[in-house]
Amino acid sequence: MTKNRMYLYGKNSILERLKADPQSIRRIFVQDNFDAPHIMKLIKSEAISVSKVTEKDLLKIKRADRLQGIVAEVNKYAYTPFEKLLHLPEKERLSFIFLDSLNDPHNLGSIMRIAACFGGFAIVIPQHSSCEVNETVIHVASGGENYVPVSLVTNLTTTLIEAKKAGYWAVGTVVEDGEDINKVSLPFPICLVLGSEGTGLRYGIQKHLDLKITLPMRGAQLSFNVAMSCAIFAHEIAKQRIK
C-alpha cells in the first residue's frame, strides 16, 4: 500500500465514512460471510470497488482485532491547517482542544469521538512528542474523524499564543489548585489545554494560560484518564457556550 493510503476497519467506522466522505474510500474488502445489507447498499450506491475474501486473507490485509468482516483502503488522514480554523467567521468559530504530549492512540481516538459528539470543537496536536492520527486512532474514533477537524502544528505553545492574539482564552486543566469546573464561568472563545497521561501540562505551556481549572474528585483517590476528563470539560464548555 502506498504512503498516501491507510486502512479503516470495523462496521461502524466504515459506515460513517460511507455516509460522510465516500470519496476518500479507494476500495473495500469484505469477508465472504459478511452480512450487513445496509452497508453493502451504501457501497453499491457509491460505486466503490468491493472484493470478497476469506477471513485469513482479510487478516493479511489488516492484522487487527475485531475487523468485523470488513476493511477499507482509504486516503491518508488529512489534517486541517490551523490558520483556516482560527479565522472562521464568528458564527462558525470553534472551541479548540489543545493536546499537550498525548501519546496513547486510544485516548486520542476517544477524544476525537467525544469532540465530534458534542460538536463545535477542533483538536490541535503537535508534530513531535505526540501521537498522530493513525489507523488505531481512527478505529477508536469510530467515525468521529469525519466530523471534527484536527490540526497538526510545529509548536503547540507558539500556536496557543497565536490563538490568544486572535482573541481566544487559554484554559488549562490541572489536578490541583485550579478553579472548580462546577463553579467557574468559562471565557469564550476558548482553547481547552489538556496535558499528557503521565506528566500533565508542561511548564512552558502553563505560563501562557489565562485560567486553570480542576475537576474535583470527592470519591476514591483515583483519577480519570485524559479522554474521560476531556468528556467532562467538553460537556461544560458545550453547556456554557450556548447560554
Instruction: Tell me the C-alpha distance between 126 and 130, whole Å.
Output: 6
The model's pLDDT over 124-137, given as tens digits with 9 standing for 90+, comes to 999 998 999 999 99
Question: Is the previous residue joined to 189 through a cis bond, with omega within 30 degrees of 0?
Answer: yes
Instruction: Tell me the C-alpha distance between 116 and 146, whole Å.
Output: 8
Residue 163 burial by Cβ neighbours in a 10 Å radius (0-12, 13-18, 19+): buried
Query: Domain 82-241, CATH 3.40.1280.10 — does that match?
Result: yes
Task: Enter the DSSP assignment of 92.
Answer: G
**Window from 13-27, 131-145, 216-230 with minimum mean pLDDT:** 216-230
Model-wide pTM > 0.85: yes
pLDDT at position 1 over 70? no
Domain with CATH 3.40.1280.10 in the chain: 82-241
Grid coordinates representing 47 are 460505486
CB of 209 closer than 8 Å to CB of 172? yes
Instruction: Tell me the C-alpha distance between 243 and 240, whole Å.
Output: 5
Report the candidate in 173, 153, 180 with the shortest Cα–Cα distance to residue 227.
173
3-state secondary structure of 71: strand
Give the residue-averaged pLDDT of 204-227. 88
The model's pLDDT over 142-179, given as tens digits with 9 standing for 90+, comes to 999 999 999 999 999 999 999 999 999 999 998 888 99
The CATH homologous superfamily of the domain defined by 5-75: Ribosomal protein L30/S12 (3.30.1330.30)
Domain with CATH 3.30.1330.30 in the chain: 5-75
Residue 243: pLDDT band (50, 70, 90) is confident
Residue 75: pLDDT band (50, 70, 90) is very high
